[in-house]
A and B are shown apart, each in its own frame.
Chain A
Amino acid sequence: AQKVTQAQTEISVVEKEDVTLDCVYETRDTTYYLFWYKQPPSGELVFLIRRNSFDEQNEISGRYSWNFQKSTSSFNFTITASQVVDSAVYFCALSDYIQGGSEKLVFGKGTKLTVNP
């Protein structure tokens, strides 16, 4: 069965520090997608990135970067020079296809990041 593990429940850093959020997944599928979502206190889940299982290139978007390593089934997320606005709960998710072509997301429990000024 699909499973996503985010071992870090809470992380607290001081502004401008770099922080890495870990994500380890389990799947028997050869084709799958990995996602990161951000959930600020307002509650909405904000999509950050989607990564295809065949594409192991790391990705950088501004202060955000993602390290996908199939060999260790990990998809870690790094925030460089963190800011107070980065404070949120971050979820890693794995796609699981269901009948009809739509996608079911299996989420980790989330990592609560607090960035202190």
Chain B
Amino acid sequence: ETGVTQTPRHLVMGMTNKKSLKCEQHLGHNAMYWYKQSAKKPLELMFVYNFKEQTENNSVPSRFSPECPNSSHLFLHLHTLQPEDSALYLCASSQYQGDQPQHFGDGTRLSIL
């Protein structure tokens, strides 16, 4: 079992749909992250949660809405997305001490029609 699990692995949705991405970590970490990986672009941090509190929102459009009900689960709610939002969305977790490495999930490949 991998330490960070993301579901679904692949998602195709229309621009008017509402869907959610899920991330679960089994490593006992207390910080969780959402990253976006687009073609030919560096990985971009979207959100950071530390002990369930959001500590970073990297100027992400409101059509992306994160939720962190507890330290083990992180969601990304999607609504009215645009074609340029098609990307690989990666979840990561780490221990609450800035020097600890982040552990990543396999990602959700999102395609917007």
A interface residues with partner B (beta carbon < 8 Å):
4, 33, 35, 37, 42-47, 50, 52, 91, 95, 97-110
A51 CB to nearest chain B CB (Å): 10
A107-B42 in contact (CB<8A): yes
- Interface 9-mer from B14-22, B60-68, B98-106: B98-106
**Given A44-B2, A91-B43, A110-B42: A100 in contact with B53 (beta carbons within 8 A):** yes
A8 and B98 CA atoms in complex are apart in Å by 29
Residues of B within 8 Å of A97, CB to CB, are: 98
CB-defined contacts of A104 to chain B, threshold 8 Å: 45, 48, 56
In the bound complex, residues from chain A placing their C-beta under 8 Å from that of B104 are 37, 44-47
* Residue in B40, B90, B100, B102 whose beta carbon sits within 8 Å of that of A109 in the complex: B40
12 A-B residue pairs with Cβ-Cβ distance under 8 Å, sorted by A, are A35-B101, A42-B106, A44-B2, A47-B104, A95-B99, A98-B48, A101-B96, A101-B97, A102-B50, A103-B99, A106-B42, A109-B42
Given contacts A102-B31, A102-B55, contact A47 B103 (CB under 8 A): yes
Q: Which 3 A-B pairs have the closest CB atoms?
A: A100-B55, A45-B104, A102-B31
Which bucket holds chain B's interface residue count? 20 to 34
Could you tell me the dominant secondary structure of chain A's interface residues?
strand
Taking A42-B106, A101-B97, A103-B31 as given, write out 12 further A-B residue pairs in contact, using a Cβ cutoff of 8 Å, ordered by the A residue number: A43-B106, A43-B107, A45-B90, A46-B104, A47-B103, A100-B53, A102-B48, A102-B55, A103-B94, A103-B102, A107-B42, A109-B42
Given A35-B101, A42-B106: A100 and B50 interface contact (C-beta under 8 Å) = yes
Chain B contacts of A109 at CB under 8 A? 40-42
